[in-house]
Amino acid sequence: MKASAAILESTEGETIVNNLPVVSKLLGNQQVVPVVVIEDEAQAHGLAGALLAGGVSVIEITLRNEYGIKAIELIKQSYPEMMVLAGTVNSAAQMAAVVKAGVDGVISPGLTRKLVEAAQELGVPYLPGVASASEVLLAIEYGLTECKLFPATVVGGIGALKAFNGPFPKIRFCPTGGVSESNYREFLALPNVMCVGGSWLAPTDLVRKGDWAAITELCKAVTA
């Protein structure tokens, strides 16, 4: 944990230390994070297998449905090579639950004081969503160096990220929301983008149909 501590200097010259391991360290060289909704055990196994077969070993399992936490537990236990992130974590209680389920890192669509403080208390790598300069400043006040930009294409996309790089050169982003097969390379080419997230690698219709071969092909297109 110590090695990955992020140290930032605020505008007053005070040093802020955040001892949380950063999410980018968990990703290794994975730059595309599939955002998924899993509804049952069969989908959990099928999807994990399909992603791994396509060279993708990270997954953001959203808590958009009841099964989310069970899916996290199951994939953590059955696929140790998979880096499992919890998404749509919207409360401190949900954060505690996903940590108990064994998750490697936590992502939320927005940033609140309660959420950052919960992550710091639990010692879990945390990627909060931001959509404005004020929210980036709040992240900096907590010593964070990495944020999700959400909903990325709605809040300015490439232009917003270029603009943020002026005042916030030490902050790295994971744009998510509107990122797709057709634009993800443009996002990844920006110096302050560490990874992108999106649902296009595992669309709900393919997951429901159990078309694992099609999902593997979508993954291969980004890992090739």
Provide the binding-site residues for ligand ELE, judged by CB under 6 A. 35, 62, 64, 87-88, 109, 150, 176-179, 197-200
Closest CA to 128 of 117, 142, 139, 114: 139
The secondary structure of 160-178 as a DSSP string is: HHHHHTTT-TT-EEEEBSS
Q: Is 148 a catalytic residue?
A: yes
Q: Which long-range contacts (CB under 8 A, 24 or more apart) does 106-114 make?
A: 107/23, 107/60, 107/148, 107/174, 107/197, 108/148, 109/148, 109/150, 110/135, 110/150, 111/135, 111/138, 111/139, 111/147, 113/138
Q: CB within 8 A of 121, min separation 6: which ones? A: none
Residue closer to ligand ELE (CB basis): 31 or 62 = 62
**Minimum CB separation from ligand ELE for residue 43, in Å?**
17
**Minimum CB separation from ligand ELE for residue 37, in Å?**
8
Q: Is 60 a catalytic residue?
A: yes
Residue closer to ligand ELE (CB basis): 85 or 140 = 85
CB neighbour burial string for 113-129, b if at least 16 within 10 angstroms, e if fewer: eebbebbbebebbbbbb
**Minimum CB separation from ligand ELE for residue 195, in Å?**
12
Active-site residue among 148, 186, 209, 220? 148
Active-site residue among 60, 66, 100, 170? 60
Element (H, E) at 134: helix 133-141
Cα(165)–Cα(193) distance, integer angstroms: 10
Residue closer to ligand ELE (CB basis): 61 or 171 = 61
Strand order in the sheet with 146-149: 129-130, 146-149, 172-175
Residue closer to ligand ELE (CB basis): 46 or 87 = 87
**Minimum CB separation from ligand ELE for residue 106, in Å?**
11
Residue closer to ligand ELE (CB basis): 8 or 187 = 187
**Minimum CB separation from ligand ELE for residue 68, in Å?**
10
List, by residue number, the catalytic residues.
60, 148
